[in-house]
Amino acid sequence: GAVVSQHPSRVICKSGTSVKIECRSLDFQATTMFWYRQFPKQSLMLMATSNEGSKATYEQGVEKDKFLINHASLTLSTLTVTSAHPEDSSFYICSAKGPRPNIQYFGAGTRLSVL
């Protein structure tokens, strides 16, 4: 149980386009989801906390208008990278607070490459 599905797993796009990444909790309801960014061989950097039905809380230094987060239902949060540029290329991972307290359940990640 407690599966988080992240889609797409890989996306290549042209500079200036927008990319949407979906994060779904398949067998549980997630009132809180998290979005992380990970550079090669580095740790996860928390970008924002997504709460169902309210605005996301962004970490310092993360551009809200650049990385749009929508958590419209208890099972779905989306991250949209707007007007993507090559420097946005990275591995994006979502997670959700699940049925076991204090434990986060992670999606498989999305590798974004902006040409």
In the complex, the residues that contact another protein under the rule CB under 8 A are 4, 6, 34, 36, 41-46, 49, 59-60, 91, 93, 95, 102-109, 111
Q: Which of 109, 101, 100 is nearest to 1 (CA)?
A: 100
Q: How far is the CB of 32 from another protein (least distance, A)?
A: 9
Q: How far is the CB of 16 from another protein (least distance, A)?
A: 26
DSSP the chain: ---EEEE-SEEEE-TT--EEEEEEESSS--SEEEEEEE-TTS-EEEEEEEETTSPPEEPTT--TTTEEEEEEETTEEEEEE-S--GGG-EEEEEEEE-SSTT-EEE---EEEEE-
- 59 or 83, CB closer to another protein? 59
- 20 or 111, CB closer to another protein? 111
- 49 or 70, CB closer to another protein? 49
- 9 or 83, CB closer to another protein? 9
Q: How far is the CB of 79 from another protein (least distance, A)?
A: 14
Q: How far is the CB of 6 from another protein (least distance, A)?
A: 7
